[in-house]
Structure 1
Amino acid sequence: MKSYPGKSTFTVRSNEIDYRGQATLPALVSYMQEAAWANTRAMGISMYDLLERGLTWVLQRMRIEMFRYPGHNDEITVKTWASGRERVFLHRDFRIYNGKQELLGQATSVWLVMDVVKRQLVSVPDFIMDVEVVPGSEPLPFAKGKLPQLQEVQYKQQVPVRWHDIDLNRHVTNTRYLQWALDSLPLEVLEQKQLQQVDIIFKAESMLGETVTSAVGPGTENGHVYLHKLASQENGKELVQAKTEWRELEN
């Protein structure tokens, strides 16, 4: 069986916008994951198909670039496709369009397969390998390589993992990690700048009842790049590493 691109349409809701009336990045990432779910379901390799076999999809990395943000009640289309395969790493790309078919943003992602009982990563099973990867569009450059380590912590917060932070895999949903990373930035950055790019790596899972420490510091001297680290307060294990790039708001 060959893979094929998917297309899903969403309307930006009032609880998914910021004070400027624009969709937040965690909301847009949620749209992309919904589009991916729909695309994999049509090929018989969705989260539910894997769970029936004691397996699940795990997002390992995502690199996102936004050119413009949609606003409240805007209808957007997310196109997604399997873009490649490297050993146990499965790549998937996304592009977001508005109603005029103008490109708003794009992303590339890396996925792994996990045994839900052993909580261990496994080799890609044959029923997934049997799906031939046929990219629907020119693939984006794969998200790979190391991110700079956070050296100078300027801001930090502790976040308890609560019931509504948990997803179908019984661990913290990845959009919540992204939200916690962004929430740790100072107010002047969130109010006066716009998020342009994110490169986020998910390294380990955290569970209900744990506490996550979200730390952030400068990535460059010009104040447009920040480095993020989320870790378990209980054992210090690094959960997430990220780099965000910001641009000045247009008047």
Structure 2
Amino acid sequence: MKSVTGQSAFTIRSTETDQNGQATLSALVGYMQEAAWDNTATMGISMYELLERGLTWVLQRIRIEMFRYPRHREKITVETWASGRERVFLHRDFRVYSADRELLGQATSVWLVMDVVKRQMVSVPDFITAVEVVPGAEPLPFAKGKLPQIEKPLYEQHMPVRWHDIDLNRHVTNTRYLQWVLETLPTEVLEKQQLSEIDIIFKAESTLGDTVTASAGPAEEEAGTFLHKLISLASGKELVQAETKFRSLRI
């Protein structure tokens, strides 16, 4: 079987918008993941098919560029396709379009397969590698390489892990991590600027009852760029590392 491009349609709901009536990034990432689920289901390798074998998909990294954020009630289409495979890393791209085919944003992501009992990453099983990767469009550059570490964190918050932070994989959902990364920044940044790019690496699990310490600080060499990390207070493990870039707010 060959991989195919998927198209999933969504309408921005009021509960998924910010104070300016624009879709939040976590909502858009949720749409991307729903589109990925739809696409993998057509090939028999969705999360449900993996769970039947004691396995699951785990998002390891995603790099997103947003050109314009859709507004409440705006209809969008998310196109997605498998864009490559490297050892245990499976790459997937996304493009988000308006109703008139304006490119609103794009992303490239990296996925792993996890054993749900052992909570360990495993080699990509044969029933997944049997699907020939045929990118639906020119692949975006793979998200790889290291991100710079925070030299001088200026902002810090503590986030207790609660019931509604947990997903089907029984750990903190990646969109909640994304929210915590952004919420660490001061209000004046979030009010007066708009996120244009994010590169976020998910390194470890956090589960119910943990407390996550989120820290952030400006990058020294690039204005409007911030570096982030999330750490488990209980284990001391680094859970997430990210880099964000902001531009002047567009409404």
Distance, in Å, in 2 between the alignment partners of 1:212 and 1:171 is 13
Query: Offset of 1:250 from its aligned partner?
Result: 4.2
Is the contact between residue 194 and residue 250 of structure 2 (CA under 8 Å) also seen in structure 1? no
- Against the structure 1 CA distance between its residues 250 and 118, is the aligned structure 2 distance closer, same or farther, given a 3 Å change threshold? closer
Is residue 194 of structure 2 the alignment partner of residue 191 of structure 1? no
Partner secondary structure for residue 33 of structure 2? helix
Distance, in Å, in 2 between the alignment partners of 1:53 and 1:66 is 36
Greater than 6 Å deviation, 4+ residue runs: none
Alignment deviations for residues 197-233 of structure 1 (CA, whole Å, 9 cap, x no partner): 0000000000001000110001135540000000001
Partner secondary structure for residue 177 of structure 1? helix
**Which residue of the partner structure matches residue 225 of structure 1?**
225
Distance, in Å, in 2 between the alignment partners of 1:125 and 1:195 is 37
Distance, in Å, in 1 between the alignment partners of 2:250 and 2:172 is 34
Partner secondary structure for residue 176 of structure 2? helix
Coordinate RMSD, CA, aligned = 0.9
Partner secondary structure for residue 177 of structure 2? helix
**Which residue of the partner structure matches residue 29 of structure 1?**
29
TM value normalised by structure 1: 0.99
Which moved further from structure 2: 241-250 or 137-146? 241-250
**Which residue of the partner structure matches residue 201 of structure 1?**
201
Alignment deviations for residues 154-177 of structure 1 (CA, whole Å, 9 cap, x no partner): 000000100000000000000000
- Against the structure 1 CA distance between its residues 118 and 250, is the aligned structure 2 distance closer, same or farther, given a 3 Å change threshold? closer
**Which residue of the partner structure matches residue 13 of structure 1?**
13
TM value normalised by structure 2: 0.99
Alignment deviations for residues 135-187 of structure 1 (CA, whole Å, 9 cap, x no partner): 00000000000000011110000001000000000000000000001001000
Partner secondary structure for residue 147 of structure 1? coil
Which moved further from structure 2: 7-16 or 221-230? 221-230
1:124-135 → structure 2 map (5 Å cutoff): 124-135=124-135
1:96-135 → structure 2 map (5 Å cutoff): 96-135=96-135
**Which residue of the partner structure matches residue 64 of structure 2?**
64
**Which residue of the partner structure matches residue 165 of structure 1?**
165
Partner secondary structure for residue 133 of structure 2? coil
Name structure 1 gaps, 5 residues minimum: none
1:21-100 → structure 2 map (5 Å cutoff): 21-100=21-100
Alignment deviations for residues 84-143 of structure 1 (CA, whole Å, 9 cap, x no partner): 000000000000000111100000000000000000000000000000000000000000
Distance, in Å, in 1 between the alignment partners of 2:222 and 2:19 is 25
Partner secondary structure for residue 45 of structure 2? coil
Distance, in Å, in 2 between the alignment partners of 1:29 and 1:69 is 12
Distance, in Å, in 1 between the alignment partners of 2:102 and 2:133 is 26
Is residue 154 of structure 2 the alignment partner of residue 154 of structure 1? yes
Distance, in Å, in 2 between the alignment partners of 1:217 and 1:152 is 6
